[in-house]
Amino acid sequence: MKSAPFDYLRARDVPEVVAALAGADGEGKILAGGQSLVPVLALRMARPVVLVDINHVAGLSGVVREENSVRVGALTRHSELTRQTQHPLLAEAARWIGHTAIRTRGTAGGSIAHADPSAELPAVAVATGASVAVAGPSGDRCVAAEELFAGPLMTTLAEEEIITAVTFPRPTRWGFAEFARRHGDFALVTAVVAEVGGEVRIALGGVGAVPVRASAAEASLAVGGGVTGAVDALAGELHPTADLHGSTEYRRAVAVEMVRRALADAGIN
């Protein structure tokens, strides 16, 4: 199929993007990497009146080291994340995103904004306590990753807002584990462990409507329960959504094993 007709705007700066989205009355879409948007347009599952191309907006790409974190521009490609060495957890997670062509075009901001509950970067954002920089008609604001994701493919962003950057705290220890039918397929379960500010945080993708914090498992670790206590607590607290790829029990079992591996990867025992 072909997409429905739309107007096209190659934006020069962020204010122009915001103005175009505000003028579209909720019917505008941002084009960055296009890896999620273009197939949706082709299937006519989305029919925007205007497509705002941000690929030529200066200042929206690159990875910048800050004191205890890295700031990732919204237009930063996944392939760049795999090459950077300032945030090894991000580099490892990005290597699991799709295939080479997708990593070459897909963007960090696009992945966060798309809010796929099985995607790698949203899980890393929640695990590390990332903050998302947003620009809109009312000015700039900062949103905690856990407050950004509202449901499958849904965020708390307004229709007129655009993500400009994501700041990921740098963990002192980290682990990453993912299970998919084949490498490059959508993950069935992703587990991310990150020690930030002395606190071990665990986030899971693919087990709910949004990336899920394993609160009981984290609490078990905090009181010295070790890996055994953490995975036992996880098995008790986790109730994944069943779908055609696996039952609740199957996803729970996979999640427990992925967390076990991620904790081992982080050197936590």
Q: pTM, whole model, 2 decimals? A: 0.95
3-state helix vs strand vs coil in the chain, percent to 5: 35, 25, 40
Contact 170/88 with Cβ under 8 angstroms?
no
Q: What is the pLDDT along the chain (269 residues), one digit of tens a residue?
A: 688 899 999 999 999 999 999 999 999 999 999 988 888 888 888 899 999 999 999 999 999 999 999 999 999 999 999 999 999 999 999 999 999 999 999 999 999 999 999 999 999 999 999 999 999 999 999 999 999 999 999 999 999 999 999 999 999 999 999 999 888 788 999 999 999 999 999 999 999 999 999 999 999 999 999 999 999 999 999 999 888 888 999 999 999 999 999 999 999 98
Pairwise CA distance, residues 39 & 18, whole Å: 24
For residue 131, give the H/E element and its range.
Answer: strand 131-136
Contacts of the segment 61-70: beta carbons below 8 A, 24+ positions apart: 63/87, 66/167, 68/169, 68/170, 69/167, 69/168, 69/169, 69/170, 70/167, 70/168, 70/170
Within 10 A of 269 (CB to CB), how many other CB atoms are there?
Answer: 8
Taken in order of first residue, the domains within the chain and their CATH numbers are: 7-53 (3.30.43.10), 64-169 (3.30.465.10), 173-265 (3.30.390.50)
